[in-house]
Structure formats: structure tokens, C-alpha cells
Structure 1
Amino acid sequence: MRAAIYIRVSTQEQALEGFSVPAQRHRAAAFCDSQGWSVMGIYADDGKSAKDTNRPELQRMLTDADDGLFDVIVVYKLDRLTRSVLDLYEILARIDKRGIKFKSVTEMYDTTTATGRLFITLVAALAQWERENLAERVYFGMEEMVRQGSRPGGTTCYGYDTISGEMRINEAQARIVRHIFDAYEATQGMRTIQQMLEAERVPPPNKHWSTTTINYMLRNPVYIGKLRWNLRKRGKGKTGAPIIVDGRHAPIISKEQFDRVQRLLDRRRTLPPVAATSDFAYSGILRCGHCGYAMSGTSRKYKSVRTKYYACVNRQKNFKCSMPYIREDVLEDAFMQ
């Protein structure tokens, strides 16, 4: 019989339970040898959770199963394959169509009978319960840390360093944070601030400065000595129920300035992003009549006379539109008519 060996380990499990990749490979290969089976392939997901099936080696194995490259799947334990009852059903149904069996080295399952399927489903349900219960305990533990004013881990916020578990102001970065707040309050838009930071080659918190990064900084209450947690669900957008409490770190921005900036951000939220700080009246609302792209404002000076124009972004950036530049006074006449 042709066998495929599937191996999975997460960092925590490898450290605490000894389910290392070599150990699983050795036990599974020895089991196949004892059964007289030929190992056709070994599929190993290192450092991957079993909460879902989005694992590259698992998906490769299931594709090979569809192609009929083996007759049985061998794992060290069922929870190496999955900790989700629904995922287990889907995997078993998929390999059943190809007549492929499933075997665990350390557990006795017979998926060819109703009783065997019930038993394996119960074991999978317990594994899923264990994973979800652990996640809840971790969540509540982190929540309690935040309520006590301690950071529950994660990336240190720009403007601070973490020293012995405490947030300490990084003066070089703190000057940049103050500069961003001052510039925005002085009615400079996020795009202008981004260009300024890039022109001055200020080291960014991520790969590069972006308006999203600047907006996040302007909205972050950590800079007034607060801790914010549960703002977003992992990969699922905002929760709508963030926890904000007093932290133990020193503030970089005064609460008065932070509140002024929040009111300014809220007021500008109702305007198109460019129109909020631009003197081009049609920025953010004008669209090209040829291709539908936005049109951005620009100006030219001739003998000290400044003339405003609007140009199609698709023409400027992609060279895929023939719409000519349009003077603002021409637009105003057309608008009034």
C-alpha cells in the first residue's frame, strides 16, 4: 500500500510537547515500515496552526490525493491533521471519494464504519474545544493585563521602546510624532506630511510612510499615556469595542492637542481626502469624462500669474487617457451654466 505521511508542528507545541518534525517523521515512517507500506511522500507544515486548512503542505497533499498518488494518509496524532470538526469532515469526505484511508500512529481509528466515524469526530471535537478554550484563556489574560495598565505584548508603538517590559520614550521618534501632530494641526494634509517625511528621509515605522500610517498615529491614544486594545479582530476589521485605559508610560502629546486633532480629523472625514486641505475646489469630486478616473489639481505660473488646472490621473500616471488639462475658470463657467 502506498502511504503519505503528514506532519505538523506549531512553535508552542514543539517547545512544550516535543512534537518535533523529526520525531513525527521517524514514528510515522517506522509505523509504515511495520505495516509493509511504501512511503510515497512526506508533507510537513512547520510552525502552522491547525485552526484551519490554510496550510501549504496540507493543500499539496490533498491535491496529490485527488490525483491518486497514495492509498493511505498517516499522521502521528489526529490533531496534527486538524483541530476542527468541520475541517475533519471535509478532509475525510474528500479522500473517501478516492478510496484513501486515514491512519493515526498513536490512536486507533477505523473510518470505514459508522462507529469509527463517530469516535474520530468526538476526538476532533475535543481537540477543537481545547484550542478554542485556550484561545479564550489567552484573550481574557491579555484583557486583564491591559486593564491593569500593562502592555500584553506585540509590536512597540512608534515613539517608544520596550525596556524590561516597560514602554520608554524614544526621543528621536517622539520628535517625529510631535512634528506630525503639529503639522496636521497647522492644516497640512496627510499626503503633504507623507511627502515631507519622505523628502527628509525620516525612518518610517514600517517599510515606508503612508497616509494610513499617519492617520493611525494621529488616532492613537497611546501618545497621551493611554493603552488601547481590542481595536481590531485578527484579520476581521474593527471590533467596535476597543478597550482604552490609563497606561504606565509617559505621554508624548498633550491631551489638549490630541483632542483638537481628533476634532479636526472628524471634521475632515466628511470631505474628500484631498479637498480637506487643498485650495483646488474640485479636488476629490471631479471625474474624467473620458475614462472615469479622478482628476487632480495642479497650477502653473506665467509672469507671476498663477493659473489652476485639473488633469486626469489616468493620463498622468498610466498614460492611458487623452483628456486634456482643463482650466479651473472654464470648469467654473460650465458648472454655473
Structure 2
Amino acid sequence: MASTATMTTATASTRTPATFQPTPRIAISLRLSRSDDASTSLDVQLRACHDSIRAAGFDPETAEVFVDNGVSGATPLADREGMSGLMEYQPTHVWAWKLDRYSRSVREFLHLVEWAETPGKRVILATADGSLNTGTPGGRLIALILVALAEWERQMMTERILAAHKERREQGRWISGFAPFPYKTVREHPKAPAYLDADSAMVPLVIKAVGVLLAEGGNLSNSSENLPIGRQQWRKLLMGVTLRGWRKHKGALVVQDDGVTPVQFAPEVLDTVTYARVQAKLKELARPETNVPRADTPFLGGFVVCVKCSGSFNGGSSDRKKQLYKCASGCGAIMANVVEPLVFAEFRERFGLEHVMRAVHTGGIDNSAALSDLEASRQRIVKAIALVDGPALEDLAAKLTDTKATIERLTAEHNPEVTVTYEPTRTRLFEVWDGATKEARRSLLAERGLRVTISPARKGLPSAGRAKIEWGMPPREKKKPTRPTTVAERRMLAAAADTAA
């Protein structure tokens, strides 16, 4: 009897899988890249692992679960919170649903195998689908082969996605994300490809804003006032190619198969000529002398000067937080609500009934915008010729010849000399003044050569009497006023001013 019991125990011991230890510490590794795939959800993975652990003769309830949710299979193991916790747990057995749940990178999986094969530790890696069991040499070899195939599949998937995106760009389709301003995405039906179309509510605002920008006194600030985007976004939109209906990918213009013609992603908002004028205006505004004044610049900043030191009156605030103009050299100050109404009233009285003049351009052929586009096209053709051979090379060579001929013809016709004459309109100047912005009013004052000279405050002299308004004065040179440093210098300047008066 004892011998039989001994034999039975030995037989049972022989049948016990050599891969598993008598007192295991079991861990389950779950990983999910996207939460919208129900077939690979965390619950599906966990149930499969429990079934596999139970089939191996262990209690799945004793297993510790480590989760990496929203983590790509190419992510390094050290950057995965769940996997890092699993390694610190020091298990004897690790289960995953499938091999690619461990990693889709051969290098990272090798790191995992090296960690599992550390002398004195020996962690067995297994999968619920039975494709992996590193408890045997053959199992480790198969694991490395399978993970190499998983990485190959991931690389092929990436290449397929990039190829699909490239094809969609060449077709003028909108791949993903919000449509750029002022466009919208349209589809024939919910599952149809998306394309860009002009937003009928936004495009008129853009066209009007461009008109304000190109008008006299126009800048990025006053032209973007009625747009739903900020000044910096407006500048970026104007500098790019979006309003031509084109797109750039990785800094390069997206072109058709010929490597030359831009793909038309959306209707054109700005034509070639208007786009060229906008680029010229942006360059002009980028120069320091045409920078937009700061928002806190006083209305008459640059027009008000001091009779004593001939310096400018800058903006400031009184002790009661009311705006005033004060001499940069400290000679005095005057309240803004005193001098500004005087200037406005005199402007309306002197110039308000004048007719607004309209510029009429006659003669001249300006092909600069078309020539700029043709030159860019010629450069793209030259680059494409260096990359092709055979019939495609002949087609590009013919296109290059045609482009050069067109450039030569337009260059010969190019004669931008234009005669500008002005004719009166029915609009009166006071109507323009009443509806103008701050910067537009400043431009009107500058055109008429405004200068306001402020005298020092004296007893018996009303504040309004300190301001002398003059028109038709030449623009003042911008120079930093010399500040008197001593009492003697101040007295000398005051005496000179009194003598001149």
C-alpha cells in the first residue's frame, strides 16, 4: 500500500508541468492602444488570461493585474506605468492576452526577455492564446520570431497609413481635424470622403478684412477687428497659402503627380494679384517705421509738442487716473479731455465739408503677381526633372519650355507705370471721420499736417488757451529730446522760449 501511494505521488509529480513553480507569483499584463475597439478591450483580455491561468492549474484570483491603457505597442517598457509596476512586483509567471500585448518592438521585447532571464530570477512569459511560453528554449525562439513579425506588421501599417494620407492629399481630400479658417468640411454622406469648401459666413468677412488691410492706414490690428480670430492668427493666415486654396505638408507645397501644379484643396479666396498685394503689405508693415502703435498710445501722440523744449508730449495718467499729455522733458502737462475736443472740432470745421477723393488708376500692365507664380512653378519643374526619367521627363521638359515662353511674354508686356488721378466722391470728409477707427483718424490728421503746440501753464490762462493748433506742417523728425539736467539749463530754456514768444 505504501509502495502504491509512493508510486502515485511520483506519477503525479512527473505530470506536473516543469515550466511552473510550486508557489508562483502570477502577474497579468494588459495593454490597450485605443478604447474604441471592443474586440481587444481590457475586459476581453482579462477574461482570456483568467481562462488560461485556470487551465494551467493556478487560481486566477491570486494574480496581480497591471494595466497600460491608451499606450502604443512601440512605447518603451520603461515609459509604461503598468509594465514598470509589473517588473517591480517580481512575479514568477506573467500572462498577456497575445504576444503583441507585451510589445510590438523587437528591441523592447528583447529587454523584457533579458529581464525575465536574469540569473536567480527566471520569469516565465506566457500568452493566453498559447503562442508564447518561454519556459522552454523552443518557446523563447518562437517568441523572438513572433515579435519580429509583430514589429514588421507595425512598420507595414505605418507605411500603409502614410501612403493613404499621401494619396488623399494628392486627391485634395481633407484627412482629419478641424477645417482651417475660413473653410468648412463637407461630405456627400456621413461615410464619404471629406473635402474643404468655403464657409459662406466667414469668407465675406475675410474679403472685407483684406480690403481694410490694403487700404491706406490699414494694418493687422484694424483689419482683424471683425474676425473671429486674433491678430497673430490673422497674420499667419495671410502669410500662408491657405487663402489660395492650397496646403503645405512638412513645409513643402502639396503638388499633383507632375510635381509642379499645386493641389487645389479648397476654393480660392484670394486671387494671384490680391495675394501678391497682401504679401507686399505685410512686408511693409514689418518695417520698424510702419509698425502699429501700441494700444496705449495717446490719440494725438506724435502731434503734440512742447513750446519750451520742442519735445513731444507723451501719454500718461493724472493722480485721478485721467489721461493726459505730458512733456518728455518735464516742462508741463495738459489734460487729454482739453486738447482732443479742440482738435476734433477744428478738423470738422475746416475739412468736414470736403469731398473724399477717389484714386483712379489708368494705363499700365502689372504682371508681377503672375510672374511670381510662374517663377515658383518653373523652380518646381526644375526640381521634378532631376527626379524622373523616361516619358515623364519629356512631359516636364515640354512644360518647362512653355513656362519659360510664358514668362518671357509676360515680362515683355510688363509695364507697371500707372497714372494716378483723383476725383471727388459724394462722401464728405466728416462722414468718414465719424465712422473711422482711431488709427484711421490719426492718418487723416497726419495727411493734413496737424501740429499742436502746448505752452506752459500760467495764471489767468485757461487750459484751452495753451494749445495752438496748426495745419499743413511738415512731419517732425523723430529725435529724443534733450532733458535739462540742471536748474540753470531749465532757466535758460524757459528764457529762450519766452523771448521767442
TM-score, normalization by structure 2: 0.45
The separation in 2 between residues aligned to 1:249 and 1:40, in whole angstroms, is 54
Aligned to 1:172, what secondary structure does the other structure show? coil
Q: Tell me if structure 1 keeps the 8 A contact 2:74–2:105.
A: yes
1:290 corresponds to: none
1:2 corresponds to: 25
The verdict on how the C-alpha distance between 1:161 and 1:72 changes in structure 2, with shifts beyond 3 A counting, is same
Instruction: Answer yes or no: is 1:28 the counterpart of 2:49.
Output: yes
The verdict on how the C-alpha distance between 1:152 and 1:63 changes in structure 2, with shifts beyond 3 A counting, is closer
The separation in 2 between residues aligned to 1:147 and 1:276, in whole angstroms, is 40
Q: CA deviation at 1:113?
A: 5.9
Instruction: Answer yes or no: is 1:173 the counterpart of 2:192.
Output: no
Question: Could you tell me which of 140, 153, 159 is aligned with 2:163?
Answer: 140
| Percent of paired sites with the same residue | 18
Q: Tell me if structure 2 keeps the 8 A contact 1:77–1:104.
A: yes
Q: CA deviation at 1:172?
A: 2.8
Instruction: Answer yes or no: is 1:254 the counterpart of 2:405.
Output: no
The separation in 2 between residues aligned to 1:49 and 1:193, in whole angstroms, is 47
Greater mean deviation of Cα atoms: 78-87 or 241-250: 241-250
The separation in 1 between residues aligned to 2:91 and 2:205, in whole angstroms, is 59
For 1:1-337, list aligned pairs within 5 A: 1-11=24-34, 14=37, 18-35=39-56, 36-37=58-59, 38-46=62-70, 48-53=71-76, 59-68=80-89, 70-97=91-118, 99-111=122-134, 115-164=138-187, 165-178=194-207, 181-182=210-211, 192=221, 197=225, 203-204=228-229, 209=230, 211=232, 213-226=233-246, 228-231=247-250, 240-244=251-255, 245-247=262-264, 249-263=266-280, 277-278=291-292, 300=315, 304=325, 307=328, 329=480
The verdict on how the C-alpha distance between 1:64 and 1:225 changes in structure 2, with shifts beyond 3 A counting, is closer
The verdict on how the C-alpha distance between 1:157 and 1:120 changes in structure 2, with shifts beyond 3 A counting, is same
2:382 corresponds to: none
Q: CA deviation at 1:77?
A: 0.8
The separation in 1 between residues aligned to 2:283 and 2:92, in whole angstroms, is 61
The residue identity in structure 2 corresponding to 1:217 is L
The CA deviation string for residues 69-93 of structure 1, in whole angstroms up to 9 with x for no partner, is 5333211111122211122223333
Q: Tell me if structure 2 keeps the 8 A contact 1:166–1:249.
A: yes
The verdict on how the C-alpha distance between 1:65 and 1:160 changes in structure 2, with shifts beyond 3 A counting, is same
The separation in 2 between residues aligned to 1:77 and 1:304, in whole angstroms, is 77
Give the unaligned 5+ runs of structure 2.
1-23, 188-193, 256-261, 295-313, 317-322, 330-478, 484-501
Q: Tell me if structure 1 keeps the 8 A contact 2:174–2:265.
A: no
The separation in 2 between residues aligned to 1:13 and 1:45, in whole angstroms, is 12
Q: CA deviation at 1:111?
A: 3.5
Give the unaligned 5+ runs of structure 1.
232-239, 281-298, 309-327, 333-337
The separation in 2 between residues aligned to 1:93 and 1:242, in whole angstroms, is 47
The separation in 2 between residues aligned to 1:275 and 1:3, in whole angstroms, is 73
Q: Tell me if structure 1 keeps the 8 A contact 2:77–2:108.
A: no
The residue identity in structure 2 corresponding to 1:82 is S
Aligned to 1:102, what secondary structure does the other structure show? strand
The verdict on how the C-alpha distance between 1:279 and 1:134 changes in structure 2, with shifts beyond 3 A counting, is same
The verdict on how the C-alpha distance between 1:111 and 1:174 changes in structure 2, with shifts beyond 3 A counting, is same
The CA deviation string for residues 141-163 of structure 1, in whole angstroms up to 9 with x for no partner, is 22122223333333211211212
The separation in 2 between residues aligned to 1:179 and 1:138, in whole angstroms, is 40
The size of the alignment, in residue pairs, is 270
Aligned to 1:214, what secondary structure does the other structure show? helix
Q: Aligned-residue CA RMSD in angstroms?
A: 4.1
2:259 corresponds to: none
TM-score, normalization by structure 1: 0.63
The separation in 2 between residues aligned to 1:247 and 1:279, in whole angstroms, is 38
The residue identity in structure 1 corresponding to 2:480 is D
The separation in 2 between residues aligned to 1:113 and 1:193, in whole angstroms, is 75
Q: CA deviation at 1:221?
A: 1.9
Q: Tell me if structure 2 keeps the 8 A contact 1:40–1:69.
A: no
Q: Tell me if structure 2 keeps the 8 A contact 1:4–1:43.
A: no
Q: CA deviation at 1:13?
A: 8.4
The verdict on how the C-alpha distance between 1:11 and 1:62 changes in structure 2, with shifts beyond 3 A counting, is closer
